[in-house]
């Protein structure tokens, strides 16, 4: 069972990575618009190719 | 805390003695203040500032303050007889600021600024929404309401604590916005007029915080569960050292969940405790902290059970339920924000320059009434106005729910927030900022969301009592089990605390209403008072006004009688030739009856206002119009015609004649609105009695009633008669009445009914005080509304029954010790999710149900 002493720290490192990635995603607005982004591909306006997330909605109007 | 408690007794003693208007004495006493004095300010709780300590006799005792601002604020509070504020354990009050701010507020009194956020609700009354910063607890909301209401000229103050929004109605002659802001400032709160967008930003912040807590709880929870799974299902006996390692690991992994994620429960719990009330958050927080502390102790001791897995599961699942609830309310709020953002900030003004128009781009807020603006196709209208040049189709879906664009010509009204689809329009500005129809809709919808139905209030009160009962039960069960051998007292207390679920009461009922109101808005139904939905579900009678409600003012040709050898086709052709180009309802009806037949247009048309038209077709002079017109111009009048009108037939008669004789008689009747019959039918199928009250003559009303299939028709009613009818219905048969009228003419009757629904095309909307407004004039929406109200009630009842049944079963079981803590946590969280999920179904109410 000595392997636990390796596996547990390993899992903690993984956990830290997961939490950090999640917090980054939330803070950078990845979860802000869960419905609108899916339909963006259907809008064929050229100016919309690379819209910054903050004003994407403004332009789609 | 001590300071506040000491203050309680003392304020209570002193309240009678202090005269409410007595001005506190202000003393500045630097000499007396000991060097390095760190006395906390009585008002804001901070240590004294550079001014030294200010001492003031207040509420019968000498108090210390950090600055003059705070001393003045406390003096104001005490002087207004609101000393209770210091008793209602508030959080730290923001320190009051100096007088240099006042000049800044003055800017908000400027008429240009006012137009943006002050709305006039008639007479001298204005309404303003202020965003208040620095409110830390409901006691602050209480203080602001009480204090501002005392001001001369302020009629009503409503503070929404969760939205940090104060809505104030006041007399324009006595109060200015700057005065309100200054007063707020004196209390130590910072106010700003609420402008679009801020609420969405606040909700976005809140949502992210909730999501972060949820994510952290879920991630750590998985690790904890993994270990727990090993214990539960490994079989065999694990080594002692291994157990210690794993428990230690779980202790560590649960810590972030308890310290960070569960803050979502600690804060509201603390707030409600500070207010002296109990909420379910108190029980939840207690269960979390107790379970963690108990488990930590067991680990330290090296003996006893641990409940880390129960704690993380409890927190995670409850957060999921909260998140659902929050998204439901957010959706509703976002819809409002979306409406608000529909007004573009810029407009193109046209000014005459010789033969041409000079264009100039400027801020929409600096437009004036009467300005002429250009709206190119594809743009959103920034203002309300009338079209003065150009023709186009305008998408009004946002205002009315009508999906097809509406044709607009010169003279037609257009509204801010709608989209110009086809051609460029020149628009004459009539409404700006807060006076637009859009702004009115937003305000009404906001009011509906803050107007809490009786059911919610009741549920809140029950939830509070329930939380207390659970605490008592937990204590009693703990005492009982501690007398028995086996050391099971602790897990039983945990189970009792965790298993009880008042969520259906405190959480799911408001969520259900928010969803229902939002669903209505999407279909062009503006629910202005949330209470209306509750009453609609109990409604027994739907009462309609005739003209303007069941009929849209249009006429239809129901009969054509030939009075000469002239053929039917010929009559129609001639009539159409005379009426082409006229906008009169009679002309429209005749043109509709003719269809697309070829017609010879009349020449030398002469319009006799109120009587009819004459013109030349194929060299002969023709007349079409009322009997009066015919009498004047036609030589032979058949004797039977003279009686035709006086006999009180239901219909309107229009004659076609040449100079010699009368050739045809068109019988016209008021046409019901499209969908009126369908709406009446659907309501009747829902078991409602449909009644028509009309001021018209009996036969006209009866004909319409028969056509639509109404249950009762009452004709010849004066407004007083309509009121009497309502009273009789309610007194005799205990009827719950819903009145549907056109909003403006029927105001008194609408006000008297239990629920008032107004048809509102355009500007009538702004004048209407109805509970519900049909923004697109589609009567079918009534059946949907009623079905939705019934469905809302059903879902709330389901939730309440579930809550009662679940708690009646689970609570005694937990007290009896049959429910281990992990099962209690699971049961409670699933119950929460069930009720919230059930409420969310309202968002997806299908149209089919209404039919």
Q: Is residue B443 part of a domain?
A: no
Check whether residue B756 and residue B699 sit in a common domain: yes
Q: Please indicate if any CB of chain B lies within 8 Å of the CB of A18.
A: yes
Q: Is residue B434 part of a domain?
A: no
Check whether residue B227 and residue B297 sit in a common domain: yes
| CB-CB contact of B477 with B493 (8 Å) | yes
| Mode of pairing for the β-strands spanning B551-562 and B541-545 | unpaired
Q: Which tens digit of pLDDT belongs to each residue from B593-650?
A: 777 666 677 788 888 877 888 888 888 888 888 877 888 888 777 766 655 544 445 5
Residue B51 pLDDT greater than 60, yes or no: no
Check whether residue B463 and residue B331 sit in a common domain: yes
User: What is the C-alpha to C-alpha distance for residues B42 and B52, in angstroms, rounded to an integer?
Assistant: 14
Q: Which residues are within 8 A (CB) of A5 and not within 5 positions of it... i.e. 6 or more apart?
A: none
| CB-CB contact of B593 with B569 (8 Å) | no
Check whether residue B661 and residue B742 sit in a common domain: no
- What is the pLDDT, as a whole number, of residue B173? 82
- Residue B117, helix vs strand vs coil: helix
- What is the pLDDT, as a whole number, of residue B338? 64
Which residues in chain A are closer than 8 Å to B239, comparing Cβ atoms?
1
Catalytic status, residue B29: no
Tell me what the pLDDT averaged over chain A comes to: 70
Q: Is residue B14 part of a domain?
A: yes
Which residues in chain A are closer than 8 Å to B379, comparing Cβ atoms?
none
* Best residue of A3, A7, A8 to probe chain B, by most B CBs closer than 10 Å: A8
Check whether residue B477 and residue B571 sit in a common domain: no
| CB-CB contact of B730 with B753 (8 Å) | no
Check whether residue B635 and residue B688 sit in a common domain: no
User: Which pLDDT band holds residue B1 (cuts at 50, 70, 90)?
Assistant: very low
Q: Which two tokens stand for residue A2?
A: 């000595």
Selection from B529, B498, B503 nearest residue B516 by Cα: B529
Q: What is the ipTM of this complex?
A: 0.73
| CB-CB contact of B352 with B371 (8 Å) | no
Q: Using alpha carbons, list the distances in angstroms from residue B60 to A1, B33, B415.
A: 72, 20, 59
Residue B290 pLDDT greater than 70, yes or no: yes
- What is the pLDDT, as a whole number, of residue B763? 44
Nearest chain B CA: its distance from A43 CA (Å): 16
Nearest chain A CA: its distance from B240 CA (Å): 12
Q: Which tens digit of pLDDT belongs to each residue from B76-90?
A: 667 666 666 665 544
Q: Is residue B354 part of a domain?
A: no
- What is the pLDDT, as a whole number, of residue B402? 65
Q: Please indicate if any CB of chain B lies within 8 Å of the CB of A13.
A: no
Q: Catalytic residue, from B395, B545, B651, B777: name it.
A: B545
Q: Please indicate if any CB of chain B lies within 8 Å of the CB of A24.
A: no
User: What is the C-alpha to C-alpha distance for residues B115 and B786, in angstroms, rounded to an integer?
Assistant: 37
Q: Is residue B788 part of a domain?
A: no
Beta-carbon-side half-sphere exposure of residue B324 (alpha carbons within 13 Å):
23
Q: Which tens digit of pLDDT belongs to each residue from B796-817?
A: 888 888 888 888 888 889 888 8
Nearest to B216 among A4, A11, A19 (CB): A19
Check whether residue B116 and residue B257 sit in a common domain: no
B576: part of which helix (H) or strand (E)? helix B568-579
Q: Which tens digit of pLDDT belongs to each residue from B394-424?
A: 887 767 666 677 888 888 888 888 888 778 8
User: What is the C-alpha to C-alpha distance for residues B500 and B190, in angstroms, rounded to an integer?
Assistant: 40
Q: Which residues are within 8 A (CB) of B328 and not within 5 positions of it... i.e. 6 or more apart?
A: B511, B514, B515, B836, B839, B840, B843
Check whether residue B576 and residue B508 sit in a common domain: no
Q: Which residue of A has its CA nearest to B207?
A: A32
User: What is the C-alpha to C-alpha distance for residues B137 and B442, in angstroms, rounded to an integer?
Assistant: 27
Q: Using alpha carbons, list the distances in angstroms from residue B120 to B114, B274, B447, B665, B759.
A: 10, 38, 15, 51, 22
* Chain B residues 190-209 with a CB less than 8 Å from chain A: 204, 208
Check whether residue B413 and residue B562 sit in a common domain: no
- What is the pLDDT, as a whole number, of residue B452? 59
User: Which pLDDT band holds residue A58 (cuts at 50, 70, 90)?
Assistant: very low
CATH code, domain carrying B761: 3.40.50.1000
Check whether residue B135 and residue B180 sit in a common domain: yes
Domain boundary among B195, B229, B259: B195
Domain boundary among B629, B647, B672: B672
Check whether residue B805 and residue B718 sit in a common domain: no
Report the 10 Å Cβ neighbour count for B342.
20
User: What is the C-alpha to C-alpha distance for residues B480 and B765, in angstroms, rounded to an integer?
Assistant: 64
Least confident of B84-88, B482-486, B749-753: B84-88
Domain boundary among B611, B640, B672: B672
Q: Using alpha carbons, list the distances in angstroms from residue B762 to B342, B648, B675.
A: 17, 35, 20
User: Which pLDDT band holds residue B3 (cuts at 50, 70, 90)?
Assistant: very low
Mean pLDDT throughout B427-449?
76
Nearest to A32 among B204, B223, B245 (CB): B204
Task: Give the whole-number percent of chain B exceeding pLDDT 90.
Answer: 4
Q: Is residue B439 part of a domain?
A: no
B16 strand-pairing partners = none
Number of domains in chain B: 6
Nearest chain B CA: its distance from A37 CA (Å): 16
User: What is the C-alpha to C-alpha distance for residues B133 and B810, in angstroms, rounded to an integer?
Assistant: 42
Q: Which tens digit of pLDDT belongs to each residue from B92-127?
A: 444 444 445 666 677 677 776 676 667 766 667 787
Nearest to B212 among A26, A32, A61 (CB): A26
Q: Is residue B786 part of a domain?
A: no
User: What is the C-alpha to C-alpha distance for residues B358 and B348, in angstroms, rounded to an integer?
Assistant: 10
User: What is the C-alpha to C-alpha distance for residues B290 and B313, in angstroms, rounded to an integer?
Assistant: 15
Q: Which tens digit of pLDDT belongs to each residue from B523-558?
A: 778 787 777 888 898 888 898 887 777 877 677 887
| CB-CB contact of B746 with B753 (8 Å) | no
CATH code, domain carrying B118: 3.30.70.100
What are the DSSP calls for B625-640, one per residue? E-HHHHHHH-S---HH
Nearest to B223 among A11, A23, A31 (CB): A11
Check whether residue B119 and residue B260 sit in a common domain: no
Long-range contacts of B330-335 (CB under 8 A, 24+ apart): B330/B203, B330/B207, B331/B518, B331/B843, B332/B449, B332/B514, B332/B515, B332/B517, B332/B518, B333/B199, B333/B200, B333/B203, B333/B449, B334/B200, B334/B203, B335/B445, B335/B518, B335/B521, B335/B522
Q: Is residue B748 part of a domain?
A: yes
- What is the pLDDT, as a whole number, of residue A43? 54
Which residues in chain B are closer than 8 Å to A4, comparing Cβ atoms?
242, 245
Domain range for B705: 525-550+675-777
Which residues in chain A are closer than 8 Å to B208, comparing Cβ atoms?
26-27, 31
User: What is the C-alpha to C-alpha distance for residues B692 and B540, in angstroms, rounded to an integer?
Assistant: 14
Q: Please indicate if any CB of chain B lies within 8 Å of the CB of A8.
A: yes
CB distance A1–B242 less than 8 Å? yes
Number of A/B CB contacts below 8 angstroms equals 33
């Amino acid at each position: 069972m000595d392997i636990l002493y390796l596996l547990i720290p390993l899992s903690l490192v993984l956990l830290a990575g997961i939490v950090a990635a999640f917090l980054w995603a939330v803070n950078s607005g990845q979860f802000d618009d869960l419905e609108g982004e899916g339909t963006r591909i259907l809008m064929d306006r050229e100016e919309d190719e690379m819209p910054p997330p903050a004003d994407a909605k403004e332009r789609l109007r | 805390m001590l300071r506040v408690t000491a203050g309680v007794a003392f304020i209570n003693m002193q309240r009678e003695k202090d005269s409410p208007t007595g001005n506190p004495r202000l003393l500045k006493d630097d000499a007396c203040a000991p060097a390095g004095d760190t006395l906390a300010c009585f008002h804001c709780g901070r240590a004294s500032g550079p001014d030294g300590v200010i001492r003031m006799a207040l509420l019968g005792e000498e108090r210390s303050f950090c600055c003059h601002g705070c001393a003045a604020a406390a003096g104001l509070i005490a002087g207004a007889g609101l000393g209770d504020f210091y008793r209602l354990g508030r959080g730290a009050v923001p320190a009051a600021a100096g007088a240099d701010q006042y000049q800044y507020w003055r800017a908000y009194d400027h008429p240009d600024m006012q137009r943006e956020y002050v709305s006039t609700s008639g007479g001298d009354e204005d309404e303003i929404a202020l965003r208040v910063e620095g409110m830390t607890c409901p006691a602050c909301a209480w203080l602001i309401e009480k204090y501002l209401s005392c001001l001369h000229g302020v009629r009503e103050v409503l503070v929404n604590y969760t939205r940090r929004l104060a809505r104030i109605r006041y007399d324009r002659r006595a109060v200015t916005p700057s005065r309100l802001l200054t007063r707020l400032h004196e209390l130590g709160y910072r106010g700003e007029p609420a402008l679009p967008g801020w609420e969405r930003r606040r909700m976005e912040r809140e949502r992210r915080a909730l999501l972060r807590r949820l994510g952290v709880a879920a991630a750590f929870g998985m690790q904890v569960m993994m270990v727990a799974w090993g214990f539960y299902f490994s079989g065999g006996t694990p080594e002692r050292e291994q157990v210690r390692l794993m428990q230690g690991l779980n202790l560590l992994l649960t810590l972030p969940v308890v310290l960070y994620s569960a803050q979502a429960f600690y804060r509201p719990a603390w707030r409600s405790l500070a207010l002296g009330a109990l909420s379910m958050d108190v029980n939840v927080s207690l269960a979390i902290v107790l379970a963690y502390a108990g488990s930590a102790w067991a680990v330290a001791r090296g003996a006893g059970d641990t409940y880390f897995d129960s704690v993380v599961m409890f927190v995670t699942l409850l957060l999921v339920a909260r998140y659902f609830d929050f998204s439901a309310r957010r959706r509703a709020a976002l819809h409002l924000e979306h409406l608000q953002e529909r007004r573009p900030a810029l407009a193109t003004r046209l000014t005459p320059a010789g033969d041409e128009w000079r264009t100039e781009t400027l801020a929409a807020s600096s437009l004036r009434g009467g300005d002429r603006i250009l709206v190119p196709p594809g743009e959103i209208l920034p203002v309300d106005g009338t079209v003065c040049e150009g023709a186009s189709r305008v998408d009004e879906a946002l205002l009315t729910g009508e999906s097809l664009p509406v044709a607009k010509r010169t003279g037609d009204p257009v509204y801010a927030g709608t989209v110009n689809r086809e051609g460029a329009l020149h628009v004459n500005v009539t409404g700006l900022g807060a006076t637009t129809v859009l702004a009115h809709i937003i305000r009404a919808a906001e009011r509906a969301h803050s107007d809490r139905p009786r059911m919610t209030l009741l549920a809140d009160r029950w939830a509070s009592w329930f939380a207390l009962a659970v605490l008592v039960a937990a204590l009693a069960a703990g005492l009982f089990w501690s007398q028995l051998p086996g050391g099971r007292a602790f897990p039983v207390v945990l189970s009792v605390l965790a298993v009880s679920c008042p969520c259906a009461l405190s959480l799911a009922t408001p969520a259900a209403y928010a969803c229902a109101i939002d669903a209505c808005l999407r279909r062009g139904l503006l629910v202005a008072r949330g209470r209306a939905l509750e009453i609609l579900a109990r409604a027994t009678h739907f009462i309609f006004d005739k003209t303007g409600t069941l009929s849209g003012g249009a006429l239809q040709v129901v009969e054509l009688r030939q009075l000469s050898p002239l053929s039917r086709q010929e009559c129609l052709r001639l009539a159409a030739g005379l009426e082409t180009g006229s906008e009169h309802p009679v002309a429209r009806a005749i043109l509709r009856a003719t269809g697309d037949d070829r017609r010879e247009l009349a020449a030398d048309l002469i319009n006799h206002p109120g009587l009819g038209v004459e013109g030349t077709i194929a060299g002969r002079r023709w007349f079409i119009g009322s009997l009066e017109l015919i009498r004047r111009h036609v030589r032979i009048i058949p004797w039977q015609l003279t009686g035709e009108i006086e006999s009180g037939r239901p219909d309107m008669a229009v004659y076609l004649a040449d100079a010699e004789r009368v050739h045809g008689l068109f019988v016209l009747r008021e046409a019901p609105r499209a969908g009126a019959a369908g709406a009446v039918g659907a309501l009747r199928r829902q078991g409602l009695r449909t009644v028509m009250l009309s001021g018209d003559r009996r036969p006209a009303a009866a004909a319409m009633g028969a056509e639509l299939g109404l249950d009762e028709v009452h004709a010849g009613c004066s407004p007083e008669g309509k009121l009497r009818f309502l009273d009789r219905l309610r007194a005799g048969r205990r009827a719950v009445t819903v009145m549907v009228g056109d909003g403006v003419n029927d105001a008194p009757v609408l006000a008297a009914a239990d629920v008032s629904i107004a048809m509102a095309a355009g500007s009538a909307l702004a004048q209407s005080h109805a509970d519900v407004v049909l923004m697109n004039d589609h009567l079918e929406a009534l059946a949907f509304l009623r079905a939705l109200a019934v469905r809302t009630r059903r879902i709330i009842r389901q939730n309440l029954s579930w809550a009662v049944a679940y708690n009646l079963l689970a609570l005694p079981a937990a007290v009896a010790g049959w429910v281990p803590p992990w099962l209690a946590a699971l049961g409670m969280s699933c119950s929460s999710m069930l009720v919230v999920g059930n409420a969310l179904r309202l968002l997806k109410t299908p149209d089919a149900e209404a039919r």
